[in-house]
Amino acid sequence: MALQKHLVLFYVVVSFCAASCYSSGFQEVNSLHSFVDHEKESGYNSRAHPSNMNTIEGVKFMEFIKPRAQLFSSRKLERAGSKSSSSVKTISVANFGAKGNGADDTRAFEKAWKAACSSNGAIVLVVPQKTYLVRPIEFSGPCKSHLTMQIYGTIEASDDRSVYKDVTHWLIFDNVQSLLVVGPGTINGNGNRWWENSCKRKPQPPCNEQAPTAVTFNKCNNLVVKNLKIQDAQQMHVRFQNCKNVEASHLTVTAPEDSPNTDGIHITNTKNITISSSVIGTGDDCISIVSGSQRVQATDITCGPGHGISIGSLGEDNANDHVSGVFVNGAKISGTSNGVRIKTWQGGSGSASNIVFQNVEMNDVTNPIIIDQNYCDHKNKDCTRQRSAVQVKNVLYQNIRGTSASTDAITFNCSQSVPCQGIVLQNIQLQNARAKCNNVKPAYKGAVSPRCSWGLVN
């Protein structure tokens, strides 16, 4: 009876909320309770599955998705915005010789960073409203005090590929703690030359497999990145790696649909990161989440064109990879090849677990919901069946509706030796399409269409 009441309340909340209140904390908590309830109700044996949502990790996970504290503490806002505050010093790259006139301003940026980073007391490093050409540059820490980089203008990459000694990075923030990078300006990777010479576009050598990530944050804890436009990256746009406690919001990330490997936001080995209110349309994943990442929350994401929101790939070259605690709540995904995807290679190990995809609107998406444990995209790789696999478990798909561009709205291509476990589909309406399911027994809740009808033939 109590459960029934709870469910009625939950459906009322959901039907009022479905379209409009994506980030309502009330709904978040309700729906996870519901996930847990459902598992009890359907006889899902939590003792048999040690990292069920009810376990310690699950509790922490629920804790983490509770309505979060304000993105900005007032102190942070003060240091970002106010020049009058006596405790905050402001310096500009212009003070160090940056002209923003089409000449190379790298040296000035380096000097300005050095000054800002060694300053005692909070400091704002300003990039004025001009376009500054810079070569690959490393903004490294640790810095003496809290630093804000406020970009009003545009930081643009040179299109001369010979200036990159390390072809994997353009702008890198390395080991800077409590850093704030705010707009409203633009970071422009000017990637056209790289795309033209990529192996995807130009199969005959010499071609570039690798191209720089436009902006990398490495080992940056307590990081805020806000209100920026990042466009036309050489390869990935923004990469968070080895970071903890990250708030990224109000980002606009764009590149042409045919630009190769230009992921929007890439998250690797990063814990406790929130991406919110962002618009991402590129030639690859809008958001990709790979090994070592935990507590990843994405809310209010507009995605497309591109490859959708992806966990993985995991387990490539027999890697032992782990991703857990991913909560995607509120996304509008349009014209992409995938919607919400989990992809793992055969032969790997580890797990992708405790994952919620909630309140997602799909618009003409080729594979709206997909788990592929047989992922293999390199022609030169061995794609034959292997016994070992990355375990996929405890994945809730809830309130997902819209249109599929293919006949397969749902594909669960799970591994025969390590089947998918704890997959729940709740309130799914994907039109005129079917579900192909292999080595998985999803639980259904509410109205779910399509449901698994026939298996894949392997």
SS3 30: helix
Distance in Å, CB of 271 to ligand NAG, minimum = 8
Distance in Å, CB of 116 to ligand NAG, minimum = 22
Residues in 237-276 at the binding interface with ligand NAG, rule: CB under 6 A: 245-247, 272
Beta-carbon count within 10 A of 376 CB: 16
Binding of ligand NAG at residue 218 (CB under 6 A)?
Answer: no
Distance in Å, CB of 161 to ligand NAG, minimum = 36
How far apart are the C-alpha atoms of 31 and 57, rounded to whole Å?
Answer: 17
> In terms of Cα–Cα distance, which of 136, 214, 138 is closest to 176?
138
Residues in 97-156 at the binding interface with ligand NAG, rule: CB under 6 A: none
Distance in Å, CB of 332 to ligand NAG, minimum = 24
Binding of ligand NAG at residue 24 (CB under 6 A)?
Answer: no
Choosing from 313, 374, 391, 394, the residue that interacts with ligand NAG (CB under 6 A) is 374
Q: Which is nearer to ligand NAG, 180 or 215 (CB)?
A: 180
- Active-site residue flag, 169: no
Binding of ligand NAG at residue 458 (CB under 6 A)?
Answer: yes
What is the token pair recorded at 84?
């009058």
Binding of ligand NAG at residue 337 (CB under 6 A)?
Answer: no
Contact criterion met (CB below 8 Å) for 286 and 339 = no
Tell me how far CA of residue 176 lies from CA of 147, 267, 388, in angstroms: 9, 17, 38
Binding of ligand NAG at residue 77 (CB under 6 A)?
Answer: no
* DSSP letter (8 states) at residue 304: -
Q: Which entry of 38, 146, 266, 307 is annotated as an active-site residue?
A: 307
Choosing from 337, 413, 427, 449, the residue that interacts with ligand NAG (CB under 6 A) is 413
Backbone angles phi, psi at 127, to 5 degrees: -110, 105
Q: Which is nearer to ligand NAG, 51 or 439 (CB)?
A: 439
What is the token pair recorded at 9?
């309340």
Tell me how far CA of residue 238 lies from CA of 136, 274, 287, 355, in angstroms: 15, 14, 10, 22
Binding of ligand NAG at residue 69 (CB under 6 A)?
Answer: yes
Binding of ligand NAG at residue 456 (CB under 6 A)?
Answer: yes
Contact criterion met (CB below 8 Å) for 70 and 78 = no
DSSP β-ladder status, 434-438 and 408-413: parallel
Catalytic residue numbers read 307
Point out which residues bind ligand NAG (CB under 6 A).
69, 245-247, 272, 372, 374, 385, 411, 413, 436, 456, 458
